[in-house]
């Protein structure tokens, strides 16, 4: 571009008025006058501020995040006329409209080759433009009246969709300005070889007959010094309300840009209408008013054009790999459980046909599903239809097979206790003396005690030896037979009693608290009698031995733990001095 400004005072000013519509919106930015002196010539600038979406899915003026359907495209041809684009004020106080008007044509299009993705392109052509008063400024020449604006390539991706259950449409976009514009016609930014980058995020939602949309982004470009201010990177925002439908449609939008290098704020109110004219064609018109005198913001603009959009075949979202909701594909089986979406109460969770496509619940984790479990909150085997095996006496024989469900007994006796009245370990059925304890070698009958010689005078009295009567005999669960490792201690007790012939002993049997109390009491008596029988078998007179069972009434320790219950299954010896 030819040299536009020589060294002189060229302050910019804000427009002297704004339309009444700005007051109604209450969003117009109060302009601040400025006046700075430039000492350098004006460099090439991109003064175009018209932002529109070639796809126009919801709005022509604001990207709403919704892209064209797969295979869809839209082409448009538009002519835009705008006035009051670049106003300057000299040191003499007179206003000069350096770029008073511009007429530009636009060729643009958008295309979606695959689902959710859209590409676009824009090519602006400056047909005519001009101003007045520039020749009155020393060293200033008029801009070219014809040229190219900055071409743009764009890409958009639809991140969220309303039809897939999202609360809004959400999209990401990026426009890239290319270095094809004419610098001498205010059609290209000077730096970065003319490149610009404009990423943004867009959102929208239907609300009855209208669509509410908004976007926000940043236009990144070189910082150029224009007399009175810097022109460079800007934050861009847009909001729109647009009608829906296929007939006559309208919209109203607000576009704003805030400079990151100057305290400038551009604001433009725009409105548009569009009308189908048959066979995919659509005529449209746009009008707007700018509220600030930021370079590129016109006092008003008018645009009109025609567009053509195809109607691609509807995409079958029910095909494998296509995103869809179960409602969109009622005949599909999205979770693969053999129940079609329309009949599946849980279409996204694999379940059973019997449970209408929902997963079978197993509350007690026993492997039997609740709908087949007669005891859904108690674990049990499938053979019992999910209910626990009942064993009232805890003898390991299920009640259904137990002839004595309330008395512990071995499985060999069908759960009934082995009867041993005298507790000598010989069952009554095999005991020749069922009421007198005796060894099995005597068929359960007692052995008569042989008289023992009196101890020699020089021998140490037996009472002075350490008594083994404090030993506790332990028993297994639900058994009256002590373990073999107890015999050595019992033999010590036999020796002690033989050495103390005047000492009698009460043998006390005990149990833990497992099982019915009466069964435990019987078991404790059997344990005491079993130890008594052993002592008799070893030569101690039965008249010196008393056997008594206390059941669970006298625990040594707590029955809350397995160790405690084991310690309580015992026989203890209590000395009783004879007469």
Summarised one tens digit per residue, pLDDT across range 204-256 is: 999 999 999 999 999 998 876 554 455 688 999 999 999 999 899 999 999 99
CA-nearest of 32, 201, 162, 6 to 91 is 6
Q: In this structure, how many other beta carbons lie within 10 angstroms of the beta carbon of residue 560? A: 9
Residues 6+ apart with CB under 8 A from 279: none
Cβ burial, residue 114 (10 Å; 0-12/13-18/19+): exposed
- The distance from CA 3 to its chain's CA centroid, rounded to whole angstroms, is 62
DSSP 24: H
Q: Say what the pLDDT of residue 578 is.
A: 54
- The CATH number given to 8-28+42-309 is 2.40.160.40
Residues 6+ apart with CB under 8 A from 14: 31, 32, 33, 34, 292, 293
CA distances to 38, 86, 100 from 132, in Å: 20, 11, 7
Greatest mean pLDDT range, 90-99, 110-119, 254-263: 110-119
Is the model's pLDDT at 145 over the cut of 80?
A: yes
Q: In this structure, how many other beta carbons lie within 10 angstroms of the beta carbon of residue 46? A: 24
CB 526 within 8 A of CB 510: no
Gap between the Cα atoms of 277 and 125, Å rounded: 26
CB 171 within 8 A of CB 29: no
Is the model's pLDDT at 481 over the cut of 80?
A: yes
Higher pLDDT, 357 or 195: 195
CB 545 within 8 A of CB 532: yes
CA-nearest of 166, 234, 172 to 202 is 172
CB 359 within 8 A of CB 370: no
CA-nearest of 54, 49, 196, 47 to 129 is 47
Residue 359: CA atoms inside 13 Å, Cβ hemisphere, count?
A: 7
Rounded average pLDDT over 122-133: 89
Residue with tokens 């908004």: 214
Q: Say what the pLDDT of residue 19 is.
A: 30
DSSP 403: S
Q: Say what the pLDDT of residue 26 is.
A: 29
Gap between the Cα atoms of 503 and 577, Å rounded: 5
Q: Say what the pLDDT of residue 219 is.
A: 94
Can you read off the two tokens belonging to residue 215?
């976007």
Would you list the DSSP string of 268-279? EEEEEEEEEEET
Q: Say what the pLDDT of residue 111 is.
A: 97
Is the model's pLDDT at 29 over the cut of 60?
A: no
User: CATH 3.30.1330.60 region(s) of the chain?
Assistant: 420-577
pLDDT band at 463 (very low <50, low <70, confident <90, very high): very low
Rounded average pLDDT over 530-541: 91
Q: Is 486 helix (H, G, I), strand (E, B) or coil?
A: helix
Q: Say what the pLDDT of residue 411 is.
A: 75
Helix, strand, coil percentages for the chain (3-state, nearest 5): 15, 30, 55
Is the model's pLDDT at 46 over the cut of 80?
A: yes
Can you read off the two tokens belonging to residue 200?
């943004």
Gap between the Cα atoms of 235 and 256, Å rounded: 8
Residues linked to residue 96 through DSSP beta bridges, in sequence order:
88
Q: Say what the pLDDT of residue 113 is.
A: 95
420-577 is classed CATH 3.40.50.300: no
Residue with tokens 């060894």: 439
Rounded average pLDDT over 121-129: 96
pLDDT band at 512 (very low <50, low <70, confident <90, very high): very high
CB 438 within 8 A of CB 426: yes
Dihedral pair phi/psi, residue 576, rounded to 5°: -130, 115
Q: Say what the pLDDT of residue 71 is.
A: 93
Would you list the DSSP string of 125-163? EEEEEEEESGGGSTT--PPPSSEE---EEEEEEEEE-GG
CA-nearest of 64, 512, 16 to 251 is 64
Is the model's pLDDT at 137 over the cut of 80?
A: no
Residues 6+ apart with CB under 8 A from 547: 423, 506, 507, 509, 525, 528, 529, 531, 532
Query: In what side-by-side order are the strands of the sheet with 503-510?
Result: 473-474, 570-577, 503-510, 545-549
Is the model's pLDDT at 322 over the cut of 70?
A: no
Least confident range of 134-143, 147-156, 373-382: 134-143
- The distance from CA 506 to its chain's CA centroid, rounded to whole angstroms, is 70
Greatest mean pLDDT range, 331-340, 341-350, 429-438, 513-522: 513-522
Higher pLDDT, 573 or 353: 573
Gap between the Cα atoms of 352 and 338, Å rounded: 8
pLDDT band at 37 (very low <50, low <70, confident <90, very high): very low
Is the model's pLDDT at 30 over the cut of 60?
A: no
Residue 472: CA atoms inside 13 Å, Cβ hemisphere, count?
A: 11
What dihedral angle (degrees, nearest 10) is formed by the CA atoms of 356, 359, 364, 365?
A: 140
Residues linked to residue 119 through DSSP beta bridges, in sequence order:
111, 155
Rounded average pLDDT over 388-400: 77
pLDDT band at 269 (very low <50, low <70, confident <90, very high): very high
Would you list the DSSP string of 247-259? SSEEEEEEEEEEE
Gap between the Cα atoms of 183 and 449, Å rounded: 133
Residues 6+ apart with CB under 8 A from 247: 275, 276
Mean pLDDT over all residues of the chain?
Answer: 81
Checking DSSP bridges between strand 73-89 and strand 95-111, what pairing results, if any? Answer: antiparallel
Q: Say what the pLDDT of residue 399 is.
A: 77
CA distances to 31, 112, 205, 377 from 162, in Å: 40, 19, 8, 42
CA distances to 93, 250, 576 from 579, in Å: 142, 122, 10
Gap between the Cα atoms of 345 and 356, Å rounded: 6
Least confident range of 64-68, 82-86, 440-444, 516-520: 440-444
Q: What percent of the chain has pLDDT over 90?
A: 40
Is the model's pLDDT at 76 over the cut of 90?
A: yes
């Amino acid at each position: 571009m030819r040299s536009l400004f020589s060294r002189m005072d060229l302050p910019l000013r804000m427009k002297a008025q704004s339309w009444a519509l700005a007051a109604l919106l209450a969003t117009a930015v109060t302009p601040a006058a400025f006046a700075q002196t430039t000492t350098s010539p004006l460099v090439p600038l991109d003064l175009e501020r018209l932002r529109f979406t070639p796809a126009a899915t919801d709005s022509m003026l604001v990207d709403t995040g919704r892209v064209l359907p797969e295979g869809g495209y839209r082409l448009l041809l538009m002519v835009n006329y705008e006035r009051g684009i670049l106003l300057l004020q000299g040191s003499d106080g007179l206003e000069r409209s350096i770029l008073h008007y511009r007429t530009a044509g636009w060729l643009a299009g958008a295309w979606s080759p695959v689902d959710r993705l859209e590409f676009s392109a824009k090519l602006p052509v400056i047909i005519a433009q001009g101003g007045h008063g520039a020749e009155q400024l020393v060293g200033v020449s008029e801009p070219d009246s014809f040229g190219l604006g900055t071409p743009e390539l764009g890409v958009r991706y639809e991140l969220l969709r309303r039809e897939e259950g999202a609360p809004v449409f959400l999209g990401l976009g990026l426009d890239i300005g290319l270095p094809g514009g004419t610098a001498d016609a205010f059609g290209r930014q000077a730096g970065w070889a003319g490149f610009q980058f404009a990423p943004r995020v867009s959102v929208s939602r239907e609300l009855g007959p209208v669509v509410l949309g908004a976007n926000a982004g940043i236009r990144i470009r070189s910082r150029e010094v224009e007399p009175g201010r810097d022109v460079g990177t800007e934050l861009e925002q847009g909001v729109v309300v647009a009608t829906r439908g296929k007939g006559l449609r309208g919209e109203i939008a607000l576009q704003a840009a805030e400079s990151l290098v100057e305290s400038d704020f551009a604001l433009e109110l725009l409105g548009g209408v569009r009308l189908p004219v048959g066979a995919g064609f659509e005529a449209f018109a746009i009008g707007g008013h700018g509220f600030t005198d930021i370079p590129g913001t016109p006092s008003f603009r008018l645009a009109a054009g025609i567009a053509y959009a195809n109607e691609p075949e509807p995409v079958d979202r029910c095909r494998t790999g296509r995103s869809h909701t179960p409602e969109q594909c009622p005949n599909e089986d999205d979770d693969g459980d053999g129940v079609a979406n329309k009949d599946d109460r849980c279409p996204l969770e694999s379940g059973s046909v019997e449970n209408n496509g929902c997963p079978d619940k197993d509350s007690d984790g026993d492997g039997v599903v609740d709908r087949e479990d007669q005891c859904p909150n108690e674990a049990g085997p499938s053979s019992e239809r999910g209910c626990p095996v009942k064993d009232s006496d805890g003898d390991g024989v299920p009640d259904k097979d137990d002839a004595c469900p309330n008395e512990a007994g071995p499985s060999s006796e069908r759960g009934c206790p082995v009867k041993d009245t005298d507790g000598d370990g010989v069952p009554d059925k095999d005991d020749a003396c069922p009421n007198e304890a005796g060894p099995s070698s005597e068929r359960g009958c007692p052995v008569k005690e042989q008289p023992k010689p009196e101890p020699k005078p020089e021998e140490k009295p037996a009472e002075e030896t350490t008594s083994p009567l404090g030993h506790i005999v332990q028993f297994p669960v639900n058994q009256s037979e002590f373990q073999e490792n107890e015999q050595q201690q019992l033999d010590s007790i036999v020796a002690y009693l033989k050495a103390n012939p005047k000492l009698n002993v009460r043998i006390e049997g005990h149990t833990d608290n497992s099982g019915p109390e009466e069964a435990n009491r019987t078991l404790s008596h059997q344990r005491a009698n079993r130890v008594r029988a052993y002592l008799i078998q070893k030569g101690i007179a039965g008249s010196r031995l008393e056997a008594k069972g206390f059941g669970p009434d006298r625990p040594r320790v707590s029955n809350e733990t397995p160790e405690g219950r084991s310690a309580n299954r015992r026989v203890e010896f209590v000395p009783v001095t004879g007469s």
